[in-house]
Chain A
Amino acid sequence: MKAIIAATILGIIMMFAGIMAKEKKPLATLATILLFILLGVNIWDLTNTSSLAPQSLFNNMLRIDRYALWFNTLMTGCTLLYVLLIGKEIQKVGAHVAEYFALIFFILCGVYLLSCYNNMLILFIGIEIMSIPQYILAGSDKRNLKSSEASLKYFLMGAFSTGILLMGITLLYGATGSFNIISFSFLQADHLNTLALAGILFIMIALSFKVSAAPMHMWTPDVYDGSPTAFTAYMATVVKAAAFFAFLRLFQVSFGSLSSQWTLVLAIITAATLLVGNLTAVFQQSVKRMLAYSSIAQAGFMLFAILAVNAVAWQGIIIYSVAYSIATIGIFTVLMKLKDYTYDGFNGLAKKEPLLAFVTTIFLFSLAGIPLTGGFMAKYYVLQALIQQGHLLWLVIFGLLMAAISVYYYFRVIIAMYFKEGNAELHSPVTATDKFMLVFTCLLVILIGLFPQLLLGNI
């Protein structure tokens, strides 16, 4: 598990580079190079672990399997894509560019811990390592009151949910006498005590908070809206995906045999998330806020994978994470080019920048789940997982109805770009590099839609 160590060291290098270099641009270039190195380390990890059998590390604190390594690699890839697309905007946020990039490395370290923890304490530490840099990033636009508010709100709510998580872990420890998540799987439904049940419920609530599932979603729109857009793009994608992976890992590996106990609660949470996310997104006027609610709505679909408790669910969460991350990062990239974040700001974009409008359309198709885009395959896998589970068909139908609602607000952007008169004002000119990167991202989305098996590698 060299990637965890590498992420930390590279993060520190990045931090010290801030002292050496005064210019912003070389720092961004350095961050890109370091991310390439990190990606390389991840791939090294992946090729080294050729055996399919999971292996334990650090006194059984971590348990490496191929799902985890593969997920890490993909998420590092997404981060790299994020930095390539949005790196320029990160430089504009404030003066401390080196720190922003360093914090992203630390977040990645948290992501790696979350994907392969085998001990509840590592889960806790991973979530903290991942969250604390985010609190800072949310508040990095210091002179903006909304940014500070977002940071404070995120921090307070985050601290609150961490408390609940700790309580849950404690209760489970009381019930089983162990922190090891594999040992929880010996919990059986027929001799289950209240302690363990309460612990599971607490952990479910805390993790629902991290993935912004309703009714623990209240912080999401404000934080996403208030934070600098460059960082919202990251929070809404890779970070969220990692939280989902941790969620899935715990509930499938440890609590899978108890699924009859918690399925109904989680199903209701899922239904509420889909309902709240989609219905509220319809009424937004700002595209940035709409994307925040849409990320809640998409979380509803990702929860399908956790409810399913089967092998397809792993594939589902991996494909969903990547497809959703790529499309969302793409849309945020376009959004940041615009002056006005409302729907009206997109009016007439197709005439002014046809390429920008076209790639945005593909990203929106992906989020809406139109075939031949990654988003369709993602939805397909989680639906398949839940249908295979067999007991929650009502939720499948409900989710599909909600997906139809989501078309409404995603297509409003398309309607604004193509069919409305207007002069979409751009913040900064679209350079050839931008165009190249956006087209590349767009091709990735279509490639995943055509051949989703590429994303699953050999797991």
Chain B
Amino acid sequence: MNIPFTLPALGPIMPEMLLVCMAIILVAVDLLFPRKKELLSQLVVLTTIGLIVMLFKQTPAVTFGTMFIVDPYAIFFKIICLFGLLMTTLLSGQYLKIEKINQGEYYSLMLFSVVGMMTMISAGDLIVVYLGLELMALSIYCLVGLLKNDWRANEASLKYFLMGAFSSALLLFGISLLYGMTGTTDLAGIAQYCLEADILTNPALLTGFALVLSGFCFKVGAAPFHFWTPDIYHGAPTTITSFMSVAPKAAGFAVLGRFLIMAFPESQDQWGPIIAIIALLSMAVGNIIAISQQNVKRMLAYSSIAHAGYALLGLLTGTSDGYSATMSYLYIYAFMNMGAFAVVILLCTKGHRRESLTDYKGLAKSNPGAALLMLIFLFSLTGIPPTAGFIGKFYLLKAALAAGYTWTVILAVIFSAISAYFYLRLIRYMYMEEAPQQFVTHYSPGIIAALAISAIGVIGIGIFPGTLLNWAARSLIVF
């Protein structure tokens, strides 16, 4: 019997395929030229820039049935992920030498995880969402455990793996319920069937929805699914922490947004309040617990929980304004968080990681440049004008207010004010305390580039927000 088979159009999936090829080539390059570690990072930087250009030129398309969707929404998030990869690669060269991470597979694992993210961002089918998520998560589990002689890294890797497996189980259970109730895993198909069969308020369907939502909230690190974040951010190599706080988070939000608006567009009034509660919990937990942290990486971990809460403010509205606010916020967050981590990495030297808050005492005297940059990034994370963080938060709050979530917005502003305490405390340490010891920082070209890009991004978007906001507004899923 002849089986009719036509190859699906491969054009839309070309960036992902190129990235897979590059990841495999990197393993081979590492094998053939073991002494030239710089070659690997240079190749990654070139590939990433090439792919970003390629993505800008991509035209919307759907391929593999409806499993793989390339729309401006997907392209926007893919560029955030690639940007995260680019910045992490720039930061990695110096850090890998200091921590003596010799594995060349470091870069290819990062590339593979970005392939996973890009796939899940484009996924129009829950099976592809799940597989992309696993592809992303598995690579990151390995990357977190790269510092094999550090017990914190081992603990982090194991914890992440166990909790990740648990959250995947929740997600899969939810997907199986949705599939059983609707007979399809296609996102648009689910929405259509729910309308036709009128099962939108069926408790079994809602349970499936809640389980899937929990799985995604785990991936973006929103409370009450945040417990993994501090230990893992603390234990992982700092470059990987910065990568994790930007790229997988953006991918998680992209999938969550697509899932909500494509599969359950009709029940916004039901999931809106649930997400509002999750957002408020995240802001409360993140901002309040961050106050008691003594380690910069842990503090930034809690701050990333809080920022996940802010970003959810846009999604819960279900409106195009809200979505574009979340999208631009994630982009801005990528700039400012990468910048803050770049300074943390800059201060890290052989034998002394300088991750404690007290290590920042008197930094303004010994390293005025690093202190000034950290000041800008912390101001932006707090949301003080004229930095980009202010613009991002402003539009998020405005969108949530317009959708009628007044109390959510009021509480969000209060939590945001609380966050100023621990961000500004670090600034006080840097500018108003005496340094216990002096040290010289080493600026490698990669770190200079990363710092410059983030600083220009944070200030540039803060002063000229129009370009980014317009781009985000144009990149929405067609409602």
**Chain B binds chain A:** no
- Give chain A's interface residues, CB within 8 Å of chain B: none
